[in-house]
Structure 1
């Protein structure tokens, strides 16, 4: 099955093709046909499963462009996710002439958002608090809303947005379509579904079957006093390019960032006490490659969708299995592979055992020794040399001229490798 098999307008198919997508993911295959028929949906799907396009396609299909009033509203837990979702919807709808998509969130001057809303917008993507703000100021009228999407609904509820969500749903027309996407389905989600959806269809994409096999998961037992050294050894041994490290507290985040920087790692931190401006600055550095290690708490990392993260490291064991799944889902995006490492101290063992009961793909492994790290680093250089297609004739001649009984070609190669490792 590919996107051309869906009963959608050609402009949307072209937009998706421009994005480089051909075959829909499981959540897209399961959700899009029912959503196109106007059915309300509860979809249980993990971050990274392709859920944004799963609701973007049916939302875009219903938009009547000549009407420049809001026809769809998507609620997200964080500013970062709002920006990502709005961007993906705009890309999917890029071939639809005069389509307007706007992200509204706190931390940005409200005047700029107000001016765009007044000019006319078809799709609004927003955090619940800022959406309420615009409604109260008279900037946003929900009378023409045909589609409401709750994205990462469980996270919005955890962040205390239930009252705002219910108010927004109450202000939209009763005949609207409501699509709810969530990694977990706690009682609060079921309560909202029962109150605001019409005979919804429940769809579940098994996270273990669809996503986790792409993630190689290791756990490393270590003494709490050796945790930081264990962390740096893992970073060195696996030669990772982009790392997201999770800690349970702000204090732990600050400790790890501070000591990584002392060892000349390009690292920065993200936690709830930072201003939105400071958060944006750090995220831009991480996305642009100016830093390659980001240390964060669970709350600060909610909604982050960053391509190219090679490794997730749990410096602290997460509180439960759902948090573990949320964390490791930040790697192996869009069909790629990734690593998830968890450092487990003695006092975290019982908590980790509970997580492992529902995540059988986690294997225990020893922290690499300094000798093993040196061997890994040397092999990386040698593998790079072996894969080179450049002509070596000139350099072979130089080696031949310089080798003798005391210092042969093997010794020369070893000396050159040593020089490269030391530089």
Structure 2
């Protein structure tokens, strides 16, 4: 199946093609045709499965541009996810002239958002708290809403937004279409679906088989006193561009950041005690490559969607399988490959064994200094083998110099690793 097979406008098809997508992901294949019929959907799909496009397409197809009042509202758990979702909807709708998409969230002056709302907006992407704020101030009237999307609904409920979500839904017309996307479907999600959706179609995309095939998962048993040394060895061995390290507490985040800085790694941290301005600054540094290692707690990293994260390292074992899935889903985005490593101390084994039941995680030993070079070499060779570039010109040069090809390859490899 390709996007050409969907009954959607040429503008949306062209925009998706220019974004580099030709084949829909499993969630897009299942959700888009159903949503285009106007029916309600409850979809279980992980972060990184392509769900934003799965709801962006049907939402955009219903927008009537001459009407400048809000026609769709997408609720997200965090400021970061709001910005990312609004940006992606803008890209999918980039060929639709005069389309207006606005992200509303806390941490940004409300006056600026109010001015844009008064000029006219077709699609609102917002955090529940800030959306409620605009409704109560009279800035946002939801009477013309035709589509409501709850994105990462389980995370919104975990963060205490249930009352806000229900208040927003009760302010929208009863004939609206409601699309609910969630990585897990706990009882609270089922209650909301029952109360606010009309005969929803349930779609489930298996996380293990379909969304995480390109993540190589390893775990390493180590004493708690050796954890930090183990961490640095893994970072050095895999020599990657972007690394995301998860810790369970702010104290642990601060410890890891401080000691990585001492070893001159380009690192910064995210945790719940930071101001929004400070968090934005760190995120921009990570996105722009000014730092290549980010240490974070689960709460601070909710909704993060950064392209190019090569490795996720669980410095502390996740509290449960769902949190583990959310963490490792930050790598291998958009069809790329990635690694997920977990450092497991004795007091974490029981918790980790529960996670391991639903994930394919192989045990490995922390690499020795000699093995670090071997791993680096193998990764480089794997990349070279994958290359489809024409090298005939270079083969001629090698032959002309009558060089021993094996020795020459070894010397080049040494130069690459050591530089």
TM-score by length of 1: 0.92
Match of 2:158 in 1: 158
Highest Rg: 1 or 2?
A: 1
Q: Which whole-Å CA distance do the structure 2 matches of 1:23 and 1:150 have between them?
A: 24
Q: Which whole-Å CA distance do the structure 1 matches of 2:46 and 2:222 have between them?
A: 30
Q: Deviations over 1:13-62 (max 9, x none)?
A: 11211211111111111111111111011000000000001111110011
Match of 1:51 in 2: 51
SS at match of 2:319: coil
Q: Deviations over 1:134-155 (max 9, x none)?
A: 1111111000000000000000
CA RMSD of aligned residues (A): 2.4
Match of 1:364 in 2: 363
Matches within 5 A, 1:131-142: 131-142=131-142
- Displacement of 1:364: 0.4
SS at match of 1:112: helix
SS at match of 1:303: coil
Q: Which whole-Å CA distance do the structure 1 matches of 2:320 and 2:312 have between them?
A: 16
Q: Which moved more, 1:189-198 or 1:4-13?
A: 4-13
Match of 1:252 in 2: 252
Q: Which whole-Å CA distance do the structure 1 matches of 2:411 and 2:12 have between them?
A: 59
Match of 2:262 in 1: 262
Q: Which moved more, 1:384-393 or 1:66-75?
A: 384-393
1:271 partnered with 2:279: no
Q: Which whole-Å CA distance do the structure 2 matches of 1:287 and 1:395 have between them?
A: 44
Distance verdict in 2 for CA 1:4–1:253, change over 3 Å: same
- Displacement of 1:422: 6.1
SS at match of 1:269: strand
Match of 2:2 in 1: 2
Distance verdict in 2 for CA 1:383–1:362, change over 3 Å: closer
Q: Which whole-Å CA distance do the structure 2 matches of 1:357 and 1:413 have between them?
A: 42
- Displacement of 1:10: 1.4
1:320 partnered with 2:337: no
Match of 2:300 in 1: 300
Q: Which whole-Å CA distance do the structure 2 matches of 1:106 and 1:61 have between them?
A: 29
SS at match of 1:117: helix
Q: Which whole-Å CA distance do the structure 2 matches of 1:251 and 1:189 have between them?
A: 32
Match of 1:221 in 2: 221
Q: Which whole-Å CA distance do the structure 2 matches of 1:8 and 1:230 have between them?
A: 51
- Displacement of 1:239: 1.7
Match of 1:14 in 2: 14
SS at match of 1:73: strand
Match of 2:77 in 1: 77
Q: Deviations over 1:320-350 (max 9, x none)?
A: 1111111111111111111110000011001
Q: Deviations over 1:156-214 (max 9, x none)?
A: 00001011000000000111110000000011111111111111111100001112221
Q: Deviations over 1:326-385 (max 9, x none)?
A: 1111111111111110000011001101111111x1000111011211344466788999
Q: Which whole-Å CA distance do the structure 1 matches of 2:262 and 2:149 have between them?
A: 44
Distance verdict in 2 for CA 1:95–1:383, change over 3 Å: closer
Q: Deviations over 1:250-303 (max 9, x none)?
A: 000010011111101111101100011110110001110111110000000000
SS at match of 1:213: coil
Distance verdict in 2 for CA 1:285–1:395, change over 3 Å: farther
Q: Which whole-Å CA distance do the structure 1 matches of 2:38 and 2:216 have between them?
A: 39
Match of 2:354 in 1: 354
- Displacement of 1:395: 12
Match of 2:172 in 1: 172
Q: Which whole-Å CA distance do the structure 1 matches of 2:173 and 2:414 have between them?
A: 71
Q: Which moved more, 1:243-252 or 1:14-23?
A: 14-23
Q: Which whole-Å CA distance do the structure 2 matches of 1:336 and 1:234 have between them?
A: 20
Match of 2:114 in 1: 114
Q: Which whole-Å CA distance do the structure 1 matches of 2:410 and 2:52 have between them?
A: 52
SS at match of 1:42: strand
TM-score by length of 2: 0.93
Q: Which whole-Å CA distance do the structure 1 matches of 2:115 and 2:98 have between them?
A: 17
Distance verdict in 2 for CA 1:162–1:382, change over 3 Å: closer
Q: Which whole-Å CA distance do the structure 2 matches of 1:15 and 1:415 have between them?
A: 46
- Stretches of structure 2 that go unaligned for 5 or more consecutive residues are none
Q: Deviations over 1:94-136 (max 9, x none)?
A: 1111110000011111111111100000000000001011111
Match of 1:405 in 2: none
Q: Which whole-Å CA distance do the structure 2 matches of 1:150 and 1:378 have between them?
A: 45
